[in-house]
Amino acid sequence: MGQGTMRVSERAMSKEYFPIGVLARTEQQSKIPFLDDLSHHMVVVAAANLATGSPEAVLASLMHDMFKGLMVWRAGVRGSNWLHFSTKPGIYEKLIPPSIRVNAKQVESFIQKHHDSRDIANPIRSVESIQGPVTSLESKIILDQVPSKTKALVVKLSGRYRWLLAFYINQVLKQQLTDHYGNTLREILAVQNVVYHYVPANLERGYSDIDDCLEALNPKALQVYRDGDSLHITLPVLRLSRPMTISYGKFNALEQTQDSLRVPFGEALSLMAFDGATSGKAKLLYVDAGFTITLDQSVQTFLNKLKGLPHIAYSASDIARSLEGTFRGSYRCSFCGEGADSKHRLSKTSKTSRFTSIQVLLDSRLYVCPTCAVGYELEEQLRRKQDHFRIPMPALVSKIRLRPEYDELINFIRGDNYLMSLAGEMWLQILSEVWYQRYQQRDDASYLLDPKALMLPVEVEFIPQAIYPLLHTQQKKFALESSLASSLVLPASVKDIDADEFQSIRRAYQHLGVSADSLLKRIKQIYEPLYKGG
Ligand SMILES: [Zn+2]
């Protein structure tokens, strides 16, 4: 490797880039990249194949694209092809140790035929096909077109208290999903975590034949093994200078260090997707692995965990129906306009300090729907704490570009074009979450101001996104005087840095040579008081 390349690689791996991964795939005809990480892509396919109950289908899914990071391209009739599997007999079979109890020959067959249209029953192909969770091309998920390999709980989000409860239910759902995916994986493959090791391929040059490349590769860069309840898979990457580990499994929370990321299954395999239209509906989507979770279960689990909440005159089932927008009451909720049957008492202080509605100010007891009743009491309990609850949303991508160290190898990735799949949205949500976690840990200001992810061979500039369902401010919140009659419920002014402002800040940082720390300090002075009480 030349001196110049080495220098570029080292800078590429510097702290401001996170996490390190490899592009999952490109679109067949146009070769436009799908923004999703390779390891995540394989976990999504494997999760969908848990429903088959076949250890071979699941293991094959977890390994099927493992050579992608070797960056083997070959010119074809319709442009370059990204070669990423070998058809050489025994190549995968010999990677699988006897401690993993599968029919290794069948695993190999599934992998080697995952692009073969004649292999109709191929489990990887069937998940990646147009109805699967992976290929959905929409960048904004249209609720009616959610692919069949996903399941969903529908919630109605007309009003902030509904957001707050939906946020908690989403948290509960993710924990339930983490347990379910982990347990199902253990039943099928006797492990409950999958650990991917991105390792430097240490090859002198690029290759255009996968078997030549594999022959030149140090065998240590290609391993599959079991260690306790974890399955380890290495993913060799050409021109990667530093190893990086991404694990998916039965973890309690997303955790990161400089070179590793641990993602609970529930975080990796679910998404809160919005209709985008005026219906105010959202879906809590998750990859269909053969089990079903109901909204009633999630609400009940959530209520069981709650402590010290005043009496709510509704049942768990009422709350679930209300959250999904099907609860029929004789009255309308004073906060969201949905069906309500019971009056709820508001605290004196919250009334005078937080609401501007004449109705709220005059009556001490209001008709409130089951969702808002819980949401209101939750907020009463939580708003004094200085914790900033947020729902991480898929990060916005502002720019992608080919890394210079791949210039001479890859000629088809140009410009800023990319495609999104549902799985990609899930990954971008993880990116946002990683950013917010680093923000809370007061990480390196340069990373926070100019976040980039390496998804080799490209780098991705992104803007983290989140929704704050709970405000820590004494400012007036609801302006309801004209609301119920006009079906309009407006939260009082809420200010966070929006995407345009984020881009302006990034540009200022990139081009004006402002010190990162002083810029960050200034931003905090401007924005933070809005999130704190008083
Ligand atoms: Zn309501």
The per-residue pLDDT string of the chain (534 residues; one tens digit each, 9 = 90 and over) reads: 333 333 333 433 445 677 789 998 887 777 788 889 999 999 999 999 999 999 999 999 999 999 999 999 888 777 778 888 899 999 999 999 999 999 999 999 999 998 888 888 888 888 887 666 676 655 666 666 677 777 888 888 877 788 888 888 999 999 999 999 999 999 999 999 999 999 999 998 889 899 999 999 999 999 999 999 999 999 999 999 889 999 999 999 999 888 899 999 999 999 888 765 556 788 888 999 999 999 999 999 999 888 777 788 899 999 999 999 999 999 998 888 899 998 888 877 776 666 666 666 677 788 999 999 998 888 877 766 655 667 788 899 988 988 988 888 887 677 678 888 888 889 999 999 998 888 887 777 888 888 999 999 999 999 998 877 665 554 545 544 333 333 444 443 345 677 888 888 888 888 877 777 888 777 777 766 544 432
- What pLDDT does 337 receive? 86
CA–centroid distance for 202 within its chain: 31
Ligand 1 centre from 267 Cα, in Å? 28
- The rounded Å distance from CA 393 to ligand 1 centre is 24
What is the predicted pLDDT for the residue at 10? 40
CA of 161 to the centre of ligand 1 (A): 7
Report CA-CA distances (Å) from 228 to 414, 478, 485.
43, 53, 61
Ligand 1 centroid to residue 467 C-alpha, Å: 19
pLDDT for the residue numbered 158: 77
CA 371 to centroid of ligand 1, rounded, Å: 6
Measured in Å, residue 138 CA sits from the centre of ligand 1 at 31
* Residue 477 main-chain phi, psi, to 5 deg: -110, -55
- C-beta separation of 374 from 443 below 8 A: no
Tokens 């004494």 appear where? 474
Would you state the pLDDT for residue 57? Answer: 96
- Expressed in angstroms and rounded, the spacing between residue 210 Cα and the centre of ligand 1 is 59
Quick check: is 303 in a domain? yes
Residue 334 lies in a domain: yes
Query: What distance in angstroms lies between residue 485's CA and the mean position of ligand 1's atoms?
Result: 15
Q: Report whether 152 contacts 284 (CB < 8 A).
A: yes
Distance from Cα 334 to the centre of ligand 1, integer Å: 7
Q: Is 256 helix (H, G, I), strand (E, B) or coil?
A: strand
Q: Report which secondary-structure segment, H or E, holds 152.
A: strand 150-156
325 CA to centre of ligand 1 in angstroms:
10
Residue ranges making up the domain that contains 358: 289-385
Distance 234 CA to ligand 1 centre (A): 50
- The whole-angstrom separation of Cα 217 and Cα 213 is 6
Q: For the residues of 44-55, what is the DSSP string, one character each?
A: HHHHHHGGGT-H
Give me the residue label for tokens 């200022």: 508
- Residue 480 has what pLDDT? 41
Instruction: Output the CA 202–ligand 1 centroid distance in Å.
Output: 59
Identify whether 333 is part of a domain: yes
ω into residue 457 within 30 of 0, thus cis?
Answer: yes
Sheet containing strand 270-274, strands side by side: 150-156, 281-287, 270-274
In a domain, 101, yes or no: no
pLDDT at residue 335 in the model? 83
Going from the Cα of 288 to the center of ligand 1, the distance in angstroms, rounded, reads 30
Looking at this protein, which amino acid is placed at residue 8? V
CA dihedral 204, 210, 216, 219 (to 10 degrees): 120
376 C-alpha to ligand 1 centroid (Å):
9
Find out whether 426 and 393 touch, Cβ atoms under 8 Å: no
Q: How far apart are CA 219 and CA 234, in angstroms?
A: 11
DSSP type of residue 43: H
**286 closest CA partner among 159, 435, 179, 431:** 179
Q: What is the pLDDT of residue 157?
A: 81
> What is the predicted pLDDT for the residue at 421?
83
The burial of 148, by beta-carbon neighbours within 10 Å (0-12 exposed, 13-18 middle, 19 or more buried), is given as exposed
Is residue 191 situated within a structural domain? no
**How far, in Å, is the centroid of ligand 1 from the Cα of 163?**
11
- Domain count of the chain? 1
Is 153 inside any structural domain?
no
pLDDT of residue 499: 81
Cα 333 to ligand 1 centroid, rounded to whole Å: 5
Centre of ligand 1 to C-alpha 275, Å, is 19
pLDDT for the residue numbered 80: 77
Give residue 158 CA to ligand 1 midpoint distance, Å: 8
Say if CB 319 and CB 299 are below 8 A apart.
yes
Distance from residue 372's CA to the centre of ligand 1 (Å): 4
Using the structure block, give the residue that is written with the tokens 């791996």. 13
d(CA 342, CA 93): 64
Ligand 1 centroid, distance to 367 Cα (angstroms): 9
Q: Would you say 489 and 483 are in contact if contact means Cβ atoms under 8 Å apart? A: yes
Residue with tokens 């990319």: 418
Alpha helices in 312-464, H assignment, sequence order: 316-324, 348-354, 358-362, 370-382, 422-440, 445-449
**How many angstroms is it from 157 CA to the middle of ligand 1?**
9
Å from CA of 364 to ligand 1 middle: 16
How many angstroms separate the alpha carbon of residue 335 from the centre of ligand 1?
Answer: 5
Distance CA 385, CA 67 (A): 48
Q: Does residue 110 sit within a domain? A: no
> Is residue 352 assigned to a domain?
yes
**Assigned token pair, 252:** 């309690």
